[in-house]
Amino acid sequence: MCTIFPLVLQPARDALYHMLGLYFPMFKSVKTVPFWLHAIICATMSFVSLVLGLFIDKTNVWFSLVGSFCTAFLGFIFPALFYMYSGNWSLKTVGWFNYISTYLLLIGGIISLVFGCAAVVYLEIFPDATE
């Protein structure tokens, strides 16, 4: 648990900083974020993770939920949103292929997030469903 926690939440924190960096220049780099704000963001992410860990009895369920959530955002949703909001993004400037591919990546990420979390919850409620 001590090694997986930073492996999952630190990339999520960095992705959040890069996303906020599109609108707030202080988030362009982890080094330019004020310490008090960095501490609040890290403490909030850790607190939410701690609360989930306290109320979810089984460790594998907690890891599955955090993994599903972070994978959907880091692998699908954030890259599509970064590409869309990086500037000068329209059908005319990027072309049909990039336009459709970006939306498919975003929709696929939302679908993987919903079905990933739903599968974990479903298998927790009905554990005999895997047999």
| Per-residue pLDDT reduced to its tens digit, 14-73 | 888 888 888 888 888 888 889 999 899 889 988 888 887 788 777 788 788 888 888 898
Chain mean position to CA 10: 11
Query: Does the pTM exceed 0.85?
Result: no
Instruction: Give the model's confidence band at 130: pLDDT under 50 very low, under 70 low, under 90 confident, else very high.
Output: low
Please state the three-class secondary structure of 29-88 as a single string.
CHHHCCHHHHHHHHHHHHHHHHHHHHHCCCHHHHHHHHHHHHHHHHHHHHHHHHHHHCCC
If we measure between CA atoms, which residue out of 74, 75, 48 comes closest to residue 62? 48
If we measure between CA atoms, which residue out of 56, 57, 76 comes closest to residue 116? 76
Q: What angle do CA 6, 15, 92 make, to 5 degrees?
A: 155
Distance between CA atoms of 123 and 101, rounded to whole angstroms?
32
